[in-house]
Amino acid sequence: MLQLTPVDLKKEKIETLIVPVCEDKVIHTDKTLSDLIRKAKQLKEFTGASKEEVTFYSPSGIKTERVTFMGLGKRDKIDLENLRSMAGKAVKGCMGKGISEIFIAVPDAAKIKIDEADILTALGEGAVLGNHLYRKYKEEKKLKPLKRVHLVVEPEAEKNHGKLLQRVESVCSGTIQAREWVSTPSNKKKPEQFAGLIKTAAGKTNLRASIMNDKQLKEKKFDSLLAVAAGSESKPRMVILEHRPLGAKKTVALIGKGVTFDSGGLNLKPSGSLDYMKSDMSGAAVVAATMITISRLKPKINVVGLMPIVENMPSGSATRPGDIVRSYSGKTVEINNTDAEGRLILIDAMAYAVKTYKPHVLIDLATLTGACVVALGERIAGVFSSDDELAESIIQSGAKTHERCWKMPLPDDYKEMLKSDFADISNIGGTRWGGAITAALFLSEFVEGIPWAHIDIAGPSYSKKESGYCGPGGTGFGVRLLCDLLENL
Ligand code: BES
Ligand code: ZN
Ligand code: ZN
């Protein structure tokens, strides 16, 4: 979909050109463009301020039918996220107008003081991700995604960055895959179905894929996971995907929470809190989509993705508050709240990963707590880690991709709150305060000293409203971050 294309605007006939414009400085080298921008700025309605837009039809001096100028604000305020959003909005604005391809004039790297590869990556990401619509169950399809987006560059840039856009397309298609799974309604992604969807997608790659069914999970004593699945008519699954390049030394295990619907179980959630609980499998979606993406990016490390997948429902067979189970690790857990179910499936997957793959690094992603959303809002994930360096790498990758993460504490003394009178540990802290922290501390009891990080994505994994380069629904938060991390670990 993306292409680097040098264009002589005076000579070549094109249909739609998007021109990012700065409020205070010239950011293009092309003289024809600068002249046009000057004309656009003569209009009182367009100054180049952020979010402003104006369109010229068949302006004199070039052979373009439609030129849309998009404001980026002051030059020193431009960052990669502005560029992503601008490209996303440009693409969204063209859908439904019978346009199938657009050209975006890429700002000059030296003039906006950002590395050229980063500019192209950001524009490419915004364009591809902004072009995605989830409307599998909608009859009306007025909006048509674009077929091609050209990034207009100098001929040298075309030579220097040939491979870059291929990577951008892979990573974005992974993000889109995760978004689609998260947006899928729970009646179309029961655990067996969701596991099947992942296996089908992985079948097109060279990943090793395996699925454990409920019988195998019982035989292997995944009793903590099974306790969550007990109330549902849909049987649980564990999907495992493996990327094993020749000669790789390090192994990273990624674990993703896959609750296809979280009703809370017998500790039933109140109506308002049931909204969007179809997205409670976002961690698993992100891990699966990342695995599929890295099978194309081929980083030289072993990566194992484990996705415990269950539905959390109340019924006569559901787990009761106060029930005690022996988890896969051997530790017993008193389940004092059936709505704290994510941690129960994660600890079995984590203990299995530790025992089976002996990873050097363990990272879990989970829509784990409402408390994390209270702390950080809907756009920032919480990172909890026993390893400062690992946490910093995650935060750095997230800063690059604008999947923002904030480091949260793991205070040892808070572990007291997880004490149980009757089992080795309780699945909830005694109070409602610090819920994201006690959830992370609960997980920390099952990592056996392996460098581990937990990313609580309850806030940013889903969005009711659309934004720059994302529609309403699943956001795919984490896929771009993890790809960057795995390539640089
Ligand atoms: N899936 C929820 C967390 C969640 C909340 C995700 C809001 C996305 C948006 C999780 O399983 C849950 O219910 N957690 C409880 C834990 C509590 C019972 C200790 C919570 O956060 O209230
Ligand atoms: Zn829950
Ligand atoms: Zn949940």
Q: 170 CA to middle of ligand 3, Å?
A: 29
**Residues designated as active site:** 269, 343
Q: Is the pLDDT of residue 288 over 90?
A: yes
Which among 100, 129, 155 is the end of a domain? 155
Per-position b or e across 352-364, b if 16+ CB within 10 A of its CB: bbbeebebebbbb
Would you say 304 and 295 are in contact if contact means Cβ atoms under 8 Å apart? no
Q: Is 73 in the pocket of ligand 1 (CB under 6 A)?
A: no
SS3 (DSSP) at 216: helix
In total, the chain counts a number of residues equal to: 489
26: Cβ–Cβ under 8 A, 6 or more apart, which residues?
A: 34, 37, 111
Question: For residue 159, what pLDDT is reported?
Answer: 86
Beta bridge partners of 310: 259
> How confident is the model over 6-10, as a mean pLDDT?
93
Q: Is 274 in the pocket of ligand 1 (CB under 6 A)?
A: no
Least confident residue range of 40-44, 180-184, 341-345, 473-477: 40-44
> How confident is the model over 187-206, as a mean pLDDT?
98
Q: 236 CA to middle of ligand 1, Å?
A: 20
- Report which of residues 139 and 327 the model is more confident about: 327
The answer, as to whether pTM is greater than 0.95, is yes
For residue 22, the domain's CATH number is 3.40.220.10
Same domain, 115 and 219: no
d(CA 254, CA 478): 12
pLDDT, tens only, 469-488: 999 999 999 999 999 999 99
Question: For residue 300, what pLDDT is reported?
Answer: 97
Residues of the chain with pLDDT > 70, as a percent, come to 100
Least confident residue range of 42-46, 129-133, 424-428, 483-487: 42-46
Largest CA distance in the chain: 81
Dihedral, 159, 164, 170, 171 alpha carbons, nearest 10: -160
pLDDT band for position 162 (cuts 50, 70, 90) = confident
Which among 122, 155, 188 is the end of a domain? 155
Same domain, 150 and 175: no
Residue 161 lies in a domain: no
Question: For residue 234, what pLDDT is reported?
Answer: 98
Same domain, 109 and 184: no
Would you say 135 and 472 are in contact if contact means Cβ atoms under 8 Å apart? no
Same domain, 274 and 378: yes
Same domain, 83 and 219: no
d(CA 336, CA 388): 31
pLDDT band for position 445 (cuts 50, 70, 90) = very high
Residue 160 lies in a domain: no
- Full domain range(s) for residue 72: 2-155
d(CA 282, CA 184): 11
Report the nearest atom of ligand 1 relative to the CA of 369.
21
Q: Is the pLDDT of residue 65 over 90?
A: yes
Q: 367 CA to middle of ligand 3, Å?
A: 6
Residue 162 lies in a domain: no
Q: 23 CA to middle of ligand 3, Å?
A: 45
Q: Which of 17, 11, 14, 38 is nearest to 26 (CA)?
A: 38
Question: For residue 96, what pLDDT is reported?
Answer: 85
Same domain, 434 and 362: yes
pLDDT, tens only, 212-244: 999 999 999 999 999 999 999 999 999 999 999
Same domain, 189 and 332: yes
Minimum CA distance residue for ligand 1 atom 7: 370
Mutation probe of ligand 1 site: the residue of 279, 335, 339 with most atoms within 8 A of C-beta: 339
Q: Is the pLDDT of residue 402 over 90?
A: yes
Question: For residue 158, what pLDDT is reported?
Answer: 86
Q: Is the pLDDT of residue 468 over 90?
A: yes
- Gap between the terminal Cα atoms of the chain: 29
To which H or E segment does residue 53 belong?
strand 53-57
Q: Is the pLDDT of residue 142 over 90?
A: no
For residue 468, the domain's CATH number is 3.40.630.10
pLDDT band for position 141 (cuts 50, 70, 90) = confident
Q: Is 192 in the pocket of ligand 1 (CB under 6 A)?
A: no
pLDDT, tens only, 83-139: 999 999 999 999 989 999 999 999 999 999 999 999 999 999 999 999 999 999 998
CB half-sphere exposure, 118, CA atoms < 13 A: 16
- Tokens 């969007």 locate to 276
Q: Is 214 in the pocket of ligand 1 (CB under 6 A)?
A: no
Same domain, 220 and 146: no
Q: Is 344 in the pocket of ligand 1 (CB under 6 A)?
A: no
> How confident is the model over 136-151, as a mean pLDDT?
93
- How many structural domains are present in the chain? 2
Mean pLDDT over the full length of the chain = 97
Q: 342 CA to middle of ligand 1, Å?
A: 8
Would you say 219 and 352 are in contact if contact means Cβ atoms under 8 Å apart? no
pLDDT, tens only, 16-27: 999 999 999 999
Residue 333 lies in a domain: yes
Residue 13, class by beta-carbon neighbours within 10 Å (0-12 exposed, 13-18 middle, 19+ buried)?
exposed
Q: Is the pLDDT of residue 365 over 90?
A: yes
238: Cβ–Cβ under 8 A, 6 or more apart, which residues?
A: 211, 212, 217, 222, 225, 306, 307, 308, 309, 349, 352
Same domain, 253 and 359: yes
Same domain, 148 and 178: no
Same domain, 60 and 7: yes
- Report in angstroms the alpha-carbon separations of 8 from 28, 30, 103, 105, 369: 14, 9, 12, 11, 53
Same domain, 175 and 69: no
Q: What is the CA radius of gyration of the chain?
A: 24
Q: Which of 425, 255, 229, 224 is nearest to 353 (CA)?
A: 255
For β-strands 251-256 and 258-262, DSSP reports them as unpaired
Which among 155, 180, 214 is the end of a domain? 155
Residue 188 lies in a domain: yes
Q: Is the pLDDT of residue 437 over 90?
A: yes
> How confident is the model over 339-345, as a mean pLDDT?
98
Residue 163 lies in a domain: no
Q: Is 371 in the pocket of ligand 1 (CB under 6 A)?
A: yes
